[in-house]
Amino acid sequence: MPDEQNTGGRVVLAGAPLGNVGDASARLRDVLTSADVIAAEDTRRLARLARDLGVTVRGRVVSYFEGNDERRTPELVEALASGAVVAVVTDGGMPSVSDPGYRLVRAALDAGYPVTAAPGPSAVTTALALSGLPSDRFVFEGFLPRSGSNRRTRLRELAAEPRTLVFFEAPHRIAGTMTDLAAIFGADRPAAVCRELTKTYEEIRRGGAAELAEWAGTGEVRGEITLVVAGAPAGPAVRPDDGELREEVARREAAGASRRDAIQAVADDYGLRKREVYTIVHTPV
> What is the arithmetic mean of pLDDT over 61-76?
96
155 vs 233, higher pLDDT? 155
Q: Is the pLDDT of residue 164 over 70?
A: yes
pLDDT in tens, 78-96: 999 999 999 999 999 999 9
pLDDT confidence band for 235 (50 / 70 / 90): low
Round to whole Å and give the CA distance between 203 and 135: 19
Going by C-beta distance under 8 Å and a sequence separation of 6 or more, which residues neighbour residue 130? 192, 194, 197, 204
Q: Judge contact between 166 and 128, C-beta under 8 A.
A: yes
Lowest mean pLDDT of 170-184, 216-230, 234-248, name the range: 234-248
Backbone angles phi and psi of 270, in degrees to 5: -110, 10
Backbone angles phi and psi of 86, in degrees to 5: -110, 115
Beta bridge partners of 13: 88, 117
3-state SS class at 214:
helix
Q: Is the pLDDT of residue 228 over 50?
A: yes
Q: Do the strands 138-143 and 164-169 form a parallel or antiparallel pair, or are they unpaired? A: parallel
Q: Is the pLDDT of residue 3 over 50?
A: no
Four-CA torsion 206, 208, 210, 214, nearest 10 degrees = -20
Q: Is the pLDDT of residue 1 over 60?
A: no
- Per-residue pLDDT at 2: 44
Lowest mean pLDDT of 10-14, 23-27, 155-159, 167-171, name the range: 155-159
pLDDT confidence band for 177 (50 / 70 / 90): very high
Four-CA torsion 196, 162, 183, 197, nearest 10 degrees = 0
Q: Is the pLDDT of residue 231 over 90?
A: yes
Q: What is the mean pLDDT of the chain?
A: 92
Going by C-beta distance under 8 Å and a sequence separation of 6 or more, which residues neighbour residue 27? 14, 118, 119
Q: Which domains does the chain have, with CATH numbers?
A: 4-121 (3.40.1010.10), 124-229 (3.30.950.10), 242-282 (no CATH)
203 vs 220, higher pLDDT? 203
pLDDT confidence band for 200 (50 / 70 / 90): very high
pLDDT confidence band for 236 (50 / 70 / 90): low
Round to whole Å and give the CA distance between 92 and 178: 25
Q: Judge contact between 151 and 141, C-beta under 8 A.
A: no
The 3-state secondary structure of 135-161, one letter per residue: CCCEEEEEECCCCHHHHHHHHHHHCCC
pLDDT in tens, 256-284: 889 999 999 888 888 888 999 999 999 98
Q: Is the pLDDT of residue 204 over 90?
A: yes
pLDDT in tens, 101-158: 999 999 999 999 999 999 999 999 999 999 999 999 999 999 999 998 999 999 989 9
Integer CA distances (angstroms), 277 to 243, 249, 272, in order: 11, 9, 7
Integer CA distances (angstroms), 125 to 41, 121, 165, in order: 21, 8, 11
Lowest mean pLDDT of 4-13, 28-37, 157-166, name the range: 4-13
- 99-102: long-range pairs with CB below 8 Å, 24+: 99/41, 100/39, 100/41, 100/64, 100/65, 100/66, 100/69, 101/13
Count of CA atoms in the C-beta half-sphere (13 A) of 25: 16
- Per-residue pLDDT at 4: 38
Q: Is the pLDDT of residue 71 over 90?
A: yes
